[in-house]
Structure 1
Amino acid sequence: MPKFLLMIVGLTAYASALFISNALLDQGVDSQLVRIVVVLIPMLPAAFICGVCIFAIRKLDEMQRKLQFEALALSFVGTALITFSYGFLEAVGFPRISMFAIWPLMAALWFVGVMIGRLRFG
């Protein structure tokens, strides 16, 4: 199956799992353990999506892998610097930010890294 279709399957499964998880929680779940399991249901397809990304990168040629590696490195260190800096700012009164904000930051920096790499490599 093409990687694009695998990604569509993963994203569809993620959206479905998120909908199911929220619906179950809205009905009310008494047990804390069950609530934890239910709220983490969408992470199964999320893990699948991560696997598809790794599989796709492994299939790239050497130059494209280098570009992706450098983009991911920029994303990793950029996210670390930004989140640590913001953590210090929270200590002086800045509002707390949800951990849900970290993934979009990482993705945006990865995108920036890929664009820089494309300009640099070619």
Structure 2
Amino acid sequence: MKGPAMPYLREFGLCLLAYGLLLAGTIALLPQLEAPALRGAVVLMPMLPVVAMGWVVLRQLRRIDELQRRIQLEALAFAFAGTAVLSLGHGFLELVGLPRLSMFAVWPVMAILWIVGLRLATRRYR
């Protein structure tokens, strides 16, 4: 793979690695901490690479050509709308007894829908 995708994949991969390392460190360290403020600071540490991932994605969107940007926009719109439908639908079903979902479930759903949206949009512009 060449072109603008290589720096993106490298940067994104480094962010994922940093996230995994900080998450593992947080999980290991948290039971040893008692001070609420320190626990709060430690538990939010994995968010630093998540913020960096957002920055990496935005930089990539600025690097790609107009057609690729349009494909990404359609994929993100699909993911945004799909996540809204699924999360709101689940929220209403919680009112009738469905178990509550953690907010941790939202991002993986959006990421999966983004991938599905990319496949659909890419196929459309072939």
Interval of TM-score (by shorter of Structure 1 and Structure 2): over 0.9
Using the TM superposition, give the Cα deviation of residue 26 of structure 1 relative to its aligned residue in structure 2, in angstroms.
2.4
Per the alignment, residue 20 of structure 1 pairs with 25
Task: Tell whether 2:9 aligns with 1:4.
Answer: yes
| Counterparts of residues 86-105 of structure 1 (less than 5 Å) | 86-105=90-109
Matched length: 121
Q: Structure 2: 5+ residue runs without aligned partners? A: 1-5
Q: Deviations over 1:42-96 (max 9, x none)?
A: 0001111111111111111001100100110111111011101110000000011
Question: Equivalent of 2:61, from 53, 57, 67?
Answer: 57
Per the alignment, residue 71 of structure 2 pairs with 67
Per the alignment, residue 114 of structure 1 pairs with 118
Query: What code does the residue aligned with 2:65 have?
Result: D
Query: What code does the residue aligned with 1:8 have?
Result: G
**Structure-1-length-normalised TM-score:** 0.93
Q: Structure 1: 5+ residue runs without aligned partners? A: none
Using the TM superposition, give the Cα deviation of residue 36 of structure 1 relative to its aligned residue in structure 2, in angstroms.
1.1
**Structure-2-length-normalised TM-score:** 0.91
Per the alignment, residue 43 of structure 1 pairs with 47
Q: Counterparts of 1:71 and 1:16 in 2: how far apart (Å)?
A: 29
Query: What code does the residue aligned with 1:98 have?
Result: S
Moved over 3 A (4+): none
Q: RMSD over aligned Cα, in angstroms?
A: 1.2
